[in-house]
Structure 1
Amino acid sequence: MDDVAALLALTAAVCFALAATLWQKAALNLEGVSFRHPLSFAVLLGQSVWLLGLLMQIVGVALQAAALDRGRVSIIQPLLVTTVIWALPLGYFLTHQTVGRREILGAAIIVVGLVGFASFGDPAAGVDDASNADWAIAVILIGLACTALLLFANRGSLSTRAAVLGTVAGMLYGLSATMMKPVVENLHTDGLAEVIAGLEFWIWAAAGIVGFLFQQLSLSTGKLVPSVATVSVANPVVSVMLGALVLLERLDREPPWHAVVASASLGLALLGAVVVSSAHEKGRDDIVPEPQLAPA
């Protein structure tokens, strides 16, 4: 694994965690955001804390693009699971989220899993782009999966809502991240004008923007940990799947046990994220966070 690419991905994860925490902090000052009230999204633009979060998100995306420029999607994207780890202390200090033993245990599992994945995971093949038909099939399948999840978005507790909306956002981010690979590669070879004229650019932009909106809805529930955890799990899962199926990426099988250990380690890291996202005491899930001072 390229050490520079890994460092860029980990730094991007820090930026994404800080962005999510700042966005949640801003959302706690409001009654909530909803697609039924589009102006509720515009109100966020008047929040300096939210704008700072947007800046950190942009920096994170730039670092993610730089990492993908140096490495494969199936290697870089799983490192973004560390977003969950960074979100724990940030949520504790900035939005007074509870961090218990289960959250700490989940974070430790993530670290162990990612260390194993980084040590033994190495891309052995892959292409930088795919046909329009392959991308169209990927978009349709992701769209259908997101639609199915949204049928359950308004059921259950606030944590469940945060998790479902976070999963939708993570899936769209995963699609966007996979599309970022050909966009960055084509930028080197064809120039900006050709890239903007290409299908990949518009899929990348649309998936990223819609994912961003669903993440705002998820964070507006006040449940930072399940929101960040589900985004951080769904993102690499979709990216790895699309990287394997569309970009033909695979782990190095020489020696064969390296691929086995790397796959198991990635599964362990994702399990740790699930542990973190499910770490909530009974009765806390339906408590809406007490708003802070109303914005001027």
Structure 2
Amino acid sequence: MASILALIAAFLFALAATLQQKGALNLPTISLSDPKSLARLAGQTMWLLGTVALLVGYVVQAAALDRGRLAIIQPLLVTTVIFALPLGYFLTHQHVGKREIIGALVIIFGLGMFAYFGDPAGGNENAPNNEWAIAIGVLVALSVILLGFCRRNEDNLTVRAAGYGTVSGIMFGLSASLTKPTLDGLHESVGTMLSHWYCYALALSGILGFVLQQISLGTGRLAPSVATVSVANPIVGISIGVLLLDERFAQPDWHIVVAVVGLGVALVGAVVISLAHEAAKEDTIGGGAPEGAPAAA
């Protein structure tokens, strides 16, 4: 049931990204340096529908995390890239070619290997505060570095989409990880949940991930945006699940190796889709900005 819920969440996230991108394409550049550009999104019907889909996806993801392990639920969200292909084709006229289809099949194969041979077991719902502090500090530092890189490459839409998408994925991965202790407190009472810092950190990281994803989608480059979010999210989730929550791959050593290889194959498939999509777009447009995409800041 947890895995099914994770796949439903992945579909909702893909639908949300596609609808939000469709809404963002009708606006000028979306940038952190222009807060009004973010506010204008609220006037776009498609963007609002995408936001509703995103919120429902969060709820479904939380239900999956409540029933399963972080290290297995988060990797399944890589399928967001697969769902985004047909949705992008029909809703925003994104190109879907042979290489995208091959990439999708590679993702399915890799995730199948990971789920079958990995099967993480054990683990805790929470970790000591000092360990959380170290993990959050590392992720924030990495995010700041990536955002600085994006600022230096504002004119490259693909780099902006991938950079902001990666940071968004990091924030979403952190938010998902904090869902475990937050739900643990909620099972006791709402008051217990609100008495701990986890729920507030979850909300903050989720909001930051949401805002950064809008900037990424606003470039008009759906494939690199969705791919980087879908890759960074599970990497953060698996890392925290294993290092902080003590989730272990309770299998023979060779099963662990095959599982890790399978996850790597799935992530490569996501990157293949991103690169193939952008290559096809450049061939079609002749190296210019994608039609309908906002200009760079």
TM-score under structure 1 length normalisation: 0.93
Which 5+ residue runs of structure 2 have no aligned equivalent?
A: none
- Are 1:153 and 2:155 counterparts? no
Check the 8 A contact 2:219/2:293 in 1, yes or no.
Answer: no
Query: Within 2, Cα distance between the matches of 1:8 and 1:61?
Result: 11
Pair 1:249–1:217, CA change in 2 (3 A): same
3-state DSSP class of the match of 1:124?
coil
Check the 8 A contact 2:220/2:292 in 1, yes or no.
Answer: no
CA displacement at 1:199 relative to structure 2:
1.0
Check the 8 A contact 1:9/1:80 in 2, yes or no.
Answer: yes
Instruction: Name the amino acid aligned to 1:252.
Output: A
What is aligned with 1:289?
Answer: 291
- Are 1:91 and 2:91 counterparts? no
| 1:175-190 equivalence runs, <5 A | 175-188=174-187, 190=188
- Are 1:134 and 2:131 counterparts? yes
CA displacement at 1:17 relative to structure 2:
0.1
- Are 1:172 and 2:171 counterparts? yes
What is aligned with 2:114?
Answer: 117
Q: Deviations over 1:199-240 (max 9, x none)?
A: 111111110100100000000000000000000000000110
Query: Within 2, Cα distance between the matches of 1:163 and 1:278?
Result: 11
Query: Within 1, Cα distance between the matches of 2:212 and 2:232?
Result: 13
Check the 8 A contact 1:116/1:262 in 2, yes or no.
Answer: yes
Query: Within 2, Cα distance between the matches of 1:214 and 1:289?
Result: 22
| 1:126-275 equivalence runs, <5 A | 126-154=123-151, 155=153, 157-188=156-187, 190-253=188-251, 255-275=252-272
User: What is the CA RMSD across the aligned residues, in angstroms?
Assistant: 1.5
CA displacement at 1:32 relative to structure 2:
2.2
In proportion to residue count, which structure has more helix?
Answer: 2
Check the 8 A contact 1:132/1:199 in 2, yes or no.
Answer: no
Query: Within 1, Cα distance between the matches of 2:47 and 2:205?
Result: 21
TM-score under structure 2 length normalisation: 0.93
- Residues 276-285 or 148-157, more deviating: 276-285
What is aligned with 1:45?
Answer: 42
Pair 1:286–1:144, CA change in 2 (3 A): farther
Q: Deviations over 1:164-217 (max 9, x none)?
A: 1100100111111111111112211x2111112211111111101001000000
What is aligned with 2:97?
Answer: 100
Query: Within 2, Cα distance between the matches of 1:30 and 1:248?
Result: 45
Query: Within 1, Cα distance between the matches of 2:82 and 2:140?
Result: 29
Query: Within 1, Cα distance between the matches of 2:41 and 2:195?
Result: 31
Residues paired across the two proteins, number = 287
Check the 8 A contact 1:158/1:286 in 2, yes or no.
Answer: no
Query: Within 1, Cα distance between the matches of 2:158 and 2:119?
Result: 36
